[in-house]
């Protein structure tokens, strides 16, 4: 298997072009599950080396947020320190909406008038004049027009390049698209995804918007707390397909996700250089129709 520079096709995020496997920074600042109190901070030098290795291997899409931080580390600061001056082709996506207190607890989602401050915080931390892509992260089914409209005004003013939405329902996506172009939808998705998630993925393809799954390596069971990558918890069918390709179960999960459509991007996160290389190599896996049908039928239950 080759690395990201040779095996990945690309997708356009509005005016931006990215390879289909990027890097998610959610776990960059700490060991263990993100946002878990007491998780030890990740070694700063190791995190910086990992980011530089990712870019060296061809990663041109990094997903982050100002609320990705631990007691001693900030994902945005690590990205800034590791990658300045930024490569011309590097796309950095961030999210606004949620906030966290200095102690790490989550705050009520920002009101429309607070979103500019969150965008500017990301710019300061990343050392950039303009974010490439800003997602409005949504919680619940409430209307989002006022909040997304505030971000659309910032885009019109030149403070933001492209807009996306995260954790949304179909009605919220339609609401946002009536206000401004939505180039990407970042929602939970992975092997065993329920029909409504699969339908939204297909809808994004029809609209020409990227679908960017989070928990693609996890699925419902692991997202609920099971340790990712544990072969003991894997489906025998998945393990059999993985063996046929000489690949790990995590690589199979990523490959299956990418096979769901050319508009599907992946942003797996890791603190390990070895796992980073494995994730990028998953883009070279080509699953047969029979293998896809087998994996499509797997069901995962939360634990």
Residue spans of the domains in the chain: they are 10-186
The answer to whether 131 touches 122, Cβ cutoff 8 Å, is yes
What is the predicted pLDDT for the residue at 187? 97
Q: Which of 240, 176, 228, 238 shows the shortest CA–CA distance to 207?
A: 176
The answer to whether 42 touches 70, Cβ cutoff 8 Å, is yes
The answer to whether 280 touches 267, Cβ cutoff 8 Å, is no
According to DSSP, the residues that pair with 93 across neighbouring strands are 63, 133
Cβ contacts of 63 within 8 Å, gap of 6 or more: 22, 23, 24, 25, 26, 93, 94, 186, 212, 267
- Tell me the backbone φ, ψ of residue 34, rounded to 5 degrees: -65, 145
What is the predicted pLDDT for the residue at 230? 42
* H or E, element range at 247: none
135 is catalytic: no
Token code pair at residue 267: 């942003």
**Burial group, residue 56, by CB count within 10 angstroms (0-12, 13-18, 19+):** exposed
**Terminal C-alpha separation, the chain:** 34
Which residue of the set 68, 86, 135, 215 is catalytic? 68
Token code pair at residue 216: 């693609």
The answer to whether 53 touches 96, Cβ cutoff 8 Å, is no
Token code pair at residue 186: 């970042």
The answer to whether 142 touches 99, Cβ cutoff 8 Å, is no
**Burial group, residue 288, by CB count within 10 angstroms (0-12, 13-18, 19+):** exposed
CATH code, residues 10-186: 3.20.20.100
pLDDT averaged per 10 residues in sequence order, the chain, 303 residues: 51 98 94 75 94 98 96 95 97 96 88 98 97 97 97 97 98 98 97 94 98 80 43 81 96 96 96 96 96 90 42
Residues 93, 202, 195, 229, Cα dihedral to 10°: -50
- 153 DSSP assignment: H
Q: Between 289-296 and 236-245, two packed helices, what is the crossing angle to 10 degrees?
A: 150
Q: Determine the Cα–Cα distance for residues 159 and 233; give it in Å rounded to an integer.
A: 45
């Amino acid at each position: 298997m080759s690395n990201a520079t040779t095996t990945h096709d690309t997708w356009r995020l509005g005016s931006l072009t990215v390879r289909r496997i990027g890097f998610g920074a959610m776990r960059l600042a700490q060991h263990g599950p993100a946002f878990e109190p007491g998780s030890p901070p990740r070694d700063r030098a190791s995190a910086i080396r990992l980011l530089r290795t990712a870019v060296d291997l061809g990663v041109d899409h990094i997903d982050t947020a100002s609320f990705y931080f631990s007691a001693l580390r900030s994902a945005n600061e690590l990205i800034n320190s590791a990658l300045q001056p930024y490569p011309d082709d590097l796309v950095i996506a961030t999210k606004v909406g949620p906030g966290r207190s200095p102690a790490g607890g989550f705050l009520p989602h920002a009101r429309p008038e607070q979103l500019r401050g969150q965008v500017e915080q990301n710019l300061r931390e990343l050392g950039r004049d303009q974010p490439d892509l800003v997602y409005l992260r949504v919680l619940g089914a409430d209307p989002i027009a006022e909040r997304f409209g505030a971000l659309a005004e910032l885009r019109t003013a030149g403070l933001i390049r492209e807009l996306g939405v995260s954790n949304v329902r179909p009605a919220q996506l339609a609401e946002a698209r009536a206000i401004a172009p939505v180039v990407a939808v970042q929602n939970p998705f992975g092997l065993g995804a329920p029909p409504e998630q699969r339908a939204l993925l297909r809808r994004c393809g029809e609209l020409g918007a990227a679908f960017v799954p989070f928990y693609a390596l996890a699925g419902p069971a692991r997202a609920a707390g099971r340790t990712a990558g544990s072969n003991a918890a894997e489906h025998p069918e998945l393990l059999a397909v993985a063996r046929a390709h000489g690949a790990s179960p995590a690589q199979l999960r990523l490959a299956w996700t990418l096979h769901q459509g050319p508009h599907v991007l992946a942003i797996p996160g890791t603190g390990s250089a070895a796992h980073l290389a494995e994730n990028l190599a998953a883009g070279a896996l080509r699953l047969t129709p029979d293998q896809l049908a087998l994996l499509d039928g797997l069901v995962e239950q939360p634990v």
